[in-house]
Structure 1
Amino acid sequence: MKRLDIRARMLMAALLPLALIGTMLSVWMLISRFDDLQTAYEQRNRLVARQIEMASEFGLFSGNQPLLQALAVGALQESDVRWVAIIDARGHILASAGDQQLAPTTDLRPVTSTGTLPSQTVDWIRQPVFSSQTTLDDLFDDVAATTPVRRTALGQITLSFSRQTLNGRKFNLLMGGGLIGILALLFGLALALFLSRSVSRPVARISHLVELIGQGEFGVVQSLRAQLESTDPLYSLQERIHQMAEQLQRAQDDLQRQVALATQQLSQKKDEAEAANLAKTRFLAAASHDLRQPTHALGLFVSRLAQLPHDAQTGQLIDHLQMSVLALQNLLDGLLDISRLEARSVQVNEGPFSVASLFGQLTQDVKDAAASKGLALHIRPTSAWALSDATLVYRILLNLVNNAVRYTQQGRVLVVARLRPSRRQVQIQVWDTGVGIAPEHQQAVFGEFYQVPNAARDRIKGMGLGLSIVRRTADLLRLSVQLKSRPGVGTCVTLTLPLVEASFAASSQGAADDGIGAELGGVNVLVIEDDALVRQALTSVLQGWDMQVAQASGLTQARQHLARGFVPQVIISDYQLEEGANGVQAIKALRSDSQTEIPACLISGDTQPNLAQQARQAGLSLLQKPVRPAKLRSLLRRLVNQELAKQ
């Protein structure tokens, strides 16, 4: 319901009492006047009947019908009289005049009676006629002893009167009263409009002022101040409002100056922060390759050193060295993943994939780490297929399983896929029997560099980036990650993926059996690496796996090996090479020269966002430096297996 404004309310306040009082007075006056008219009408009727009754006494007594008829005709001349009848004592009509249809029924009772004809605007009256008696007495008789004389009924007079004139007068009176009432209301309305306008206009001006102040139109408010009149009934209030507006304007101007100054300072700080972040990004991009190269070589040399014969004390030193190198590699991998996710340079390639293929790759990459700690690694087989980016999902699972192995001292690590067909979901769960996480820390562990205060969590066990990468990657893929844990019992992390029908599956048996069937011993591998130290370390590791290695610093040396008759079964190439060519171009050229689709992979320390896309378009697997030997060996086995499957 629409609310009335102040002017309408003032009009109602002025008009309603006036209208109510005027209506009540008019009704009271009309009712009073109607009663007066009705009383006068009835008295006149009785008076006319009485006069005819007195005049007709002699005619009834003498039976003089002409006289009675003359009386009837004369009575009809009175206004409102419509029927006159003179009836004798036996009920015979001796004289009548007027409309006989308006005559009431005959009733000879010697009493005066009145009534109304049904469905007629006609009233009737019966007036009995009695004989007059004159009492004769002696002058000296006792008055008290006079005996009353009984009067004899001679007949009756019947008259019918029309109410038409009475009703007309009432109608005229009603119209006049209504007209006077309407005129009074109109006068009251005009007066109320005048009075309300004289009050509502100042109120409306005040309301407009407040609205302008609320909109910040202080200039308009100031211009309206000159229009104030001292005769205004609300002049003082409006003057106070203008003073308040001036104070508000000064306060607003001061606040705007402060905001402008703060905005300028924030803009400068923002520019400085962006410049610092850009400098950091440029530094990391420039230093990443050079930092990863020696770390990559160090990892390969340590791996090769572990393969050589050594005594127990040397073996213990090598184990510590491997743990330190592994921690450094994990830190570099985590920082790389975090920087990519922050820069939103990770490309999502969604498609159906076999969960079993990820489990097979996961087994090869984690089994050595689990075995070195004496943990039982159980990855249950599954036939489920999911819809997402297989590469990014594998990174999530690898981080989760590495975390489980890292923080579990004894017991087992279980990876299982549970189907939820009703929800069209597959839930991949990673269970461990590790130290567990208290409820108050279960959300914080997904933050960067956060580690639960625990004596077991030393730096060799990471920097607290694993679960942060998991959360960010899951958010990128719009997947759900849930963590449940009990201190001293263990932890379960659940990754929920969309489930797809098995009809998407091709032959996934080979993917699930990576690393089974083909051994690397005797396999010819061509290594293309421009860094001599890294090339020497990689060659040493590959030779430790009994592979036949040919090494080159660029495309020219690689072609020379092919020209001398070396037939590579696998090509491992760095991305940045000598002579201006990159690894993708070198592999394409060698495949073209040999007219064979040689299995190949890229190893690079570059963090360019488009590098992964280039490798994917060329059909090459990409490993980021530093590369763990176990991961490299797993990839080489898979490439060899795929080539054997084609044959």
Structure 2
Amino acid sequence: MPLNDIQDVERLKKINAALVSRVERSMDQQGNAFSLFQTAISLENRVRMRTEELHSTLRRLEQSNMALSAAKESAEHANLSKTRFLAAASHDVLQPLNAAHLSVSALAEVQTSEEGRKLVRQVERSLQTMEDLLHTLLDISKLDAGVVEPETTDVNLETLFSALRSDFQPIAETKGLSLRFRPVAIAVRSDRTLLRRILQNILSNALRYTRRGGVLVGTRQRGNMIRIDVADTGCGIPEDQREAVFEEFHRGPRMSDAELAGGGLGLGLAIVKRMAGALGHPVTFSSTVGRGTIFHIDVPVSTHPVPEPGTVEAERQPGYGLFGTKVLLVENDADVLAAMTSLLERWQCTVRAATSTDEALDALGDTDWVPDIIIADQHLEGGDLGTMTVSQVRDYLGRAVPALLVTADPSESVMNAARAAGIEFMRKPLKPAQLRALLAHLLA
């Protein structure tokens, strides 16, 4: 082959190799592009799937939130319904309980044997336990439902301590314990009734679990706060029970069968926790097993001058001068009416009974019989209200006859209506001794 032809062939081979290489590179690039295209499509599909899953999850979450909201609303409604039911049920249950209290009191006065008096005391204790349980359950229900609205005012601690001393001194003396309150000339901002209930429950627990020594109530000021301390020399609270003491139906160790029989319901500190929470008063405690416990309640100090101590109802002298007292008794429950009439007559009172406003006015005749005092239930026959009955009787007689509203209705509106009408107020079930003391006070 001529040299020129050989050179041409070699040159064509090189050109061909270069073209083949370029074609291969081009094909590789196209293959990579196609691979990237496929990858992009795959990623897009995965993103679409994840987006759909996310939307589905969000929809399920939204539905779950709606279900939770509906369940919460239903639970709140059920809680309020429970509170209303307990309030209504307690009113109906307290009516016969009140009649039982009054009947047992009348029965106690005719007992001549020690055995009879012992049985009466046992019945009274059982009735008192039932009453305490009903009131406590109603209180817990109200607090859990958030329907308790504290009425914040200036509370004179010396007056409050005086009332508590009167309540608990007999209990302490019965157990051979000392009960001391350190004097304090200061007022705090709180709800008077709720703060007293908190201290009552703590004191009751302190005396129950103390066998020797006693209980001391004192205060310490810390800036704009007053810390009320209730210290006892009781059995103390073990470390493993400190979280449980504020739970319902928790009871500490008992020392004897007598203490077990006379023990509480295990609801006292549960009430304390809820009431303190409603007031915004922190409650804490420190305790040493075998040496005692100190409960602390932090309450804001009042910026106003200390109110003058008022007359403490519990410290009123009883005064039993009821002989010949004319009582207009307005009560629609037959059992309560009979028991109350029997009790008043044993106190040498003259009683005229009625079940409604019209009957009460009829009982007065042509004002030839003027009652010294009116005792009325709030809810009477025909939908009459005791406060209105008292008002109409007073108008009919033309004089402001002393009156007492006795009711198992626990609502604040009833108490406020009685106060506005100048009517004394007592809740059922009545304690006969307190009733007699209040009647003597009103007639004095």
Q: After superposition, give the CA deviation of every residue in 1:111-148 in whole Å (9 maximum; x if it has no partner).
A: xxxxxxxxxxxxxxxxxxxxxxxxxxxxxxxxxxxxxx
CA–CA distance in structure 1, aligned partners of residues 270 and 391 of structure 2: 37
Match for 1:500: what amino acid?
S
The aligned amino acid for 1:565 is W
Deviations 1:449-478 (A, max 9, x none): 333465767475333222222222222222
Instruction: Report the CA distance between 1:509 and its aligned residue.
Output: 5.5
Q: CA deviation at 1:425?
A: 3.8
2:104 pairs with 1:313: no
Match of 2:408 in 1: 605
Residue 464 (structure 1) aligns with: 266
Residue 572 of structure 1 aligns to which amino acid in structure 2? Answer: I
Match for residue 474 of structure 1? 276
2:292 paired residue among 482, 490, 505: 490
Q: Is the 8 A contact 1:351 1:387 kept in 2?
A: yes
User: Is the 8 Å Cα contact of residues 293 and 625 (structure 1) preserved in structure 2?
Assistant: yes
| CA distance, structure 1, for counterparts of residue 88 and residue 196 of structure 2 | 28
Measure, in 2, the Cα distance between the counterparts of 1:547 and 1:497: 46
CA contact (8 A) 1:356 1:511 kept: no
> 1:266-307 CA distances to partner (integer Å, 9 max, x unpaired)?
577667656755664454344222211111222232333334
Q: Report the more deviating stretch, 424-433 or 473-482.
A: 424-433
Letter in 2 for 1:521: G
Counterpart in 1 of 2:302? Answer: 500
Tell me: CA distance 1:369–1:589, structure 2 relative to 1, closer, same or farther (3 Å). farther
Q: What is the CA distance between 1:341 and its match in structure 2?
A: 1.6
CA distance in structure 2 between the partners assigned to 1:584 and 1:601 by the alignment: 9
SS at match of 1:445: coil
Q: Distance in 2 between matches of 1:264 and 1:500?
A: 45
Say if 2:205 is the partner of 1:403: yes
8 Å Cα contact 2:238/2:288 also seen in 1: yes
User: Which one has more relative contact order, counting CA pairs under 8 Å at least 6 apart?
Assistant: 2
Residue 304 of structure 1 contacts residue 541 of structure 1 at CA under 8 Å; is this kept in 2? Answer: yes
Q: Distance in 2 between matches of 1:429 and 1:635?
A: 32
Contact 2:331 2:380 in 1 (8 A): yes
How far 1:328 sits from its partner (Å)? 0.6
Question: Which of residues 503, 507, 510 is equivalent to 2:311?
Answer: 510
* Paired position in structure 1 for 2:320: 520
CA shift, 1:232, in A, is: 9.8
Q: 2:231 — aligned with what?
A: 431
Contact 2:370 2:397 in 1 (8 A): no
| 1:601-620 Cα shifts (integer Å, max 9, x gaps) | 43222244633443444454
Matched, 1:440 2:237: no
Which of 553, 561, 568 is the equivalent residue of 2:372? 568
Question: Is residue 410–residue 434 contact of structure 1 (8 Å, CA) maintained in 2?
Answer: yes
Residues 230-241 of structure 1 aligned to structure 2 (within 5 Å): 231=33, 238-241=40-43
Q: Which stretches in structure 2 are left out of the alignment for 5+ residues?
A: 1-31
Instruction: Kindly provide the CA deviation profile for residues 498-548 of structure 1, in whole angstroms up to 9, marking residues without a partner as x.
Output: 333673524x263388313x6132274544322121233334445566666
Distance of aligned partners of 1:326 and 1:350 in 2 relative to their CA distance in 1, 3 Å threshold: same
Q: Do the aligned partners of residues 370 and 317 (structure 1) sit closer, same or farther apart at CA in structure 2, a change above 3 Å counting?
A: farther
> What residue ranges of structure 1 are gaps of 5+ in the alignment?
1-229
TM-score computed with the length of structure 2 as normaliser: 0.75
Tell me the residue number matched to 2:3. none
Deviations 1:296-354 (A, max 9, x none): 22223233333433322223322322221111111011011112222333232222233
Secondary structure at 1:471 match in 2:
helix
Is the Cα–Cα contact under 8 Å of residues 364 and 515 in structure 1 kept in the other structure? no
Q: Contact between 2:407 and 2:427, CA under 8 Å: does it hold in 1?
A: yes
Q: Aligned residue for 2:161?
A: 359
Q: 1:288 and 2:79 equivalent?
A: no
Question: In 2, distance between residues paired with 1:583 and 1:451?
Answer: 41
**Closer, same or farther in 2 for the Cα pair 1:271/1:429, shift >3 Å?**
closer
Q: Quick one: which amino acid aligns to residue 297 of structure 2?
A: L
- The CA distance in 2 between the partners of 1:315 and 1:418, in whole Å, is 42
1:124-523 alignment, distance < 5 Å? 231=33, 238-252=40-54, 254-256=56-58, 259=61, 273=75, 277=79, 280-281=82-83, 283-379=85-181, 381-414=183-216, 416-420=217-221, 423-452=223-252, 454=254, 458=260, 461-500=263-302, 503-506=305-308, 508=309, 510-511=311-312, 514-516=315-317, 519-522=319-322
- What secondary structure sits across from 1:494 in the alignment? strand
For 2:422 and 2:87, how far apart are their aligned partners in 1? Answer: 25
**Does the 8 Å CA contact 2:83/2:145 hold for their aligned counterparts?**
no
Q: So what's the TM-score if we normalise by structure 1?
A: 0.54
Aligned mates of 1:583, 1:402 — CA distance in 2: 35
SS at match of 2:285: strand
Please tell me the root mean square deviation across aligned C-alpha atoms, in Å.
3.8
- CA-to-aligned-CA distance 1:71-114 (integer Å, 9 cap, x gap): xxxxxxxxxxxxxxxxxxxxxxxxxxxxxxxxxxxxxxxxxxxx
1:258 Cα offset (Å): 5.0
Q: Is the 8 A contact 2:330 2:356 kept in 1?
A: yes
Instruction: State the number of aligned residues.
Output: 408
Say whether 1:585 aligns with 2:388.
yes
Partner SS, residue 493 of structure 1: strand
Distance change (3 Å), C-alpha of 1:632 and 1:341? farther
Over the matched positions of the two proteins, sequence identity in percent amounts to 34
C-alpha separation in 2, matches of 1:435 and 1:539: 47
Aligned residue for 1:614? 417
CA distance in 2, matches of 1:385, 1:513: 20
Distance 1:544 1:577, change over 3 A: same
Aligned in 2, Cα 1:277/1:382: closer, same or farther, shift over 3 Å? Answer: closer
Separation (CA, whole Å) in 2 of partners of 1:539 and 1:373: 36
**Counterpart residue type for residue 188 of structure 2:** A
Aligned in 2, Cα 1:551/1:484: closer, same or farther, shift over 3 Å?
Answer: farther
Provide the rounded CA distance (Å) in 1 between the counterparts of 2:341 and 2:289: 45
* Aligned residue type for 1:340: K
Aligned AA (1:440): D
Report the CA distance shift for 1:423/1:298 in structure 2 as closer, same or farther (over 3 A): same
Contact preservation (8 Å) 2:185, 2:306: no
| SS of corresponding position for 1:429 | strand
| Counterparts in 2 of 1:555 and 1:510: CA distance versus 1, 3 Å | same
CA distance in 2, matches of 1:438, 1:291: 38
Please say which structure displays the higher CA radius of gyration: 1
Deviation track 1:235-276 (CA, whole Å, cap 9, x = no partner) reads: 566445324313323433553565467567657766765675
